Amino acid sequence: MGQAIYGFVGLGNMGRPMALNILRAGHDLVVHDPNDDAVAELVRAGARHASSVAELGAEADAVFLSLPTPEVVRQVCLGDGGLSAAKRTRIIVDLSTTGSETEAQVAAGLAAKGKILVDCPVSGGVSGAEAGRLALMAAGEAEAVEALRPVLELLGKLFVVGTEPGMGQSMKVINNLMSTTALTISSEALVLGVKCGLDPDRMIEVLNAGSGRNSATERKIPDNVLPRSFDFGFAIGLSAKDARLCIEEAERRGVDMKVGRAVQQVLNATRDTLGADADLTTVIKLVEAQAGVEVRGAAAGEGK
C-alpha cells in the first residue's frame, strides 16, 4: 500500500501493544479510543489522535480494530459516523473476536459501501501482543490480505484460513474454547491434587513432563495461579463471550459440544460470581471455594 496511513481503533489490553508494534516499525498511525490515558501513551510514542471514528476514517487508508464485543464492532463499522461512511478508509481489519455471523453481516454492510473487511482475530494473550508473537487467523479477499501482510506480520504469525469473512472468527472461537477447556479442567485437577495432599508446584512439573501437559499447565497456572497473582490479562467476561460465540456457531452447524457447553457454564459462573472484569485465571477460585482448599505455589509465599 506504499506510504499508507493506518488507523487503529481500540487501545485496550490487546490493542495497545499491537498499535505500538505498528508504530514502532515506522508506520504513520492514527488512533482512537474513549480512554484518554490509552490514547496519550500512543501519542507520546508518535501516533496522531483522532477524536472520532469518522475523523480517523477521513485520514487512514486501512483501519485495524481491537474491540471488546460484536456490538461495538458493528457500531464502529456500520453505525452513525462509522467506517462504512469513511471518506478515505478502504480496508478494515477486524482483530477482535466478533463471531462468524456478525462478521459476515458487517462485511456485507461494508461491501455495500465499497469497502473490504479482512477478518483477522488473534490469539496469544497480552504477552504475545507485546512481543509481536500472536497467531493471526485471516480470512478475506486475497489481494487485501497480501497488501497488509507486512503490517500484520509485525503482530505475529499470519495464517490465512479462508477467503470469506467469518472463517477467521470460526477458527478463533474454536481455539479459545479449547484454551479455556484446558484451563478449566487443569484448575479442577490442581484443586483435586491439593485436596489429596499433593504439592501444586510438583504437580505442574509432572503434568508438563507427561501427557497432561497443555497451555494452562505450561503458562497460565504457573505464571498466574500458583503465585496467586491472577494477572493473565484477559477478562472472564470476554472469555465467557467467546465461549458463547463458539457454542452458537456449533448449534448453527449442528455440532453437539457437550464438553464445550460445560466449560461455558463454568466461565459464566465465574463471571457472575467474581464480576466480568475478573481475570480469566480466577476460574480456579470457584472450585477452590467448593473444595475448601487453595492452590498456592511456593512463589505465592504464605500470605493470603
Q: Domain 5-164 carries which CATH code?
A: 3.40.50.720
Confidence of residue 2 (pLDDT cuts 50, 70, 90): low
Does the structure show a pLDDT above 70 at 1?
no
CATH architecture of 170-300: Orthogonal Bundle (1.10)
Q: Which of 87, 113, 157, 172 is catalytic?
A: 172
E strand or H helix at 31, and its extent? Answer: strand 28-32
- 52 has pLDDT over 80: yes
Condensed to tens digits (0 to 9), the pLDDT of residues 109-143 reads 999 999 999 999 999 999 999 999 999 999 999 99
Q: 62 by DSSP, 3-state: which?
A: strand
Rounded Cα–Cα distance for residues 41 and 31 (Å): 11
d(CA 40, CA 51): 12
Asked, colleague to colleague, whether 5-164 and 170-300 share their fold, the answer is no
Q: Which grid coordinates belong to 171?
A: 477458527
Mean pLDDT of the chain: 96
Clarify whether 241 is annotated catalytic.
no
Half-sphere exposure of 70 (CA within 13 A, CB side): 17
36 by DSSP, 3-state: which?
A: helix
Instruction: Identify whether the C-beta of residue 128 lies closer than 8 Å to the C-beta of residue 156.
Output: yes
Helix (H, G, I), strand (E, B) or coil at 117: strand
What gap in Å lies between CA 200 and CA 77, rounded to an integer? 46
Distance CA 89, CA 67 (A): 18
User: What pLDDT, in 10s, does the model give residues 173-194?
Assistant: 999 999 999 999 999 999 999 9
d(Cα 165, Cα 170) in Å, to the nearest integer?
10
**Domain-wise residue ranges, the chain:** 5-164, 170-300
**pLDDT tens-digit map of 259-289:** 999 999 999 999 999 999 999 999 999 999 9
Which residue has cell 507486512? 150
Mean pLDDT, range 196-225, rounded to an integer? 98
**pLDDT at res. 303:** 57
- Per-residue pLDDT reduced to its tens digit, 136-164: 999 999 999 999 999 999 999 999 999 99
**Angle (nearest 5°) at CA 231 between 195 and 126:** 130
For the beta carbon of residue 177, count every other beta carbon within 10 angstroms: 26
pLDDT higher than 60, residue 304: no
State percent of the chain over pLDDT 70: 98
Query: In sequence order, what are the residues at sequence separation of 6 or more whose Cβ sits closer than 8 angstroms to the Cβ of residue 293?
Result: 191, 194, 195
Q: Around 263, how many Cα atoms within 13 Å sit in the side-chain half-sphere?
A: 28
* Helices within 165-231 (DSSP H only): 167-195, 200-209, 215
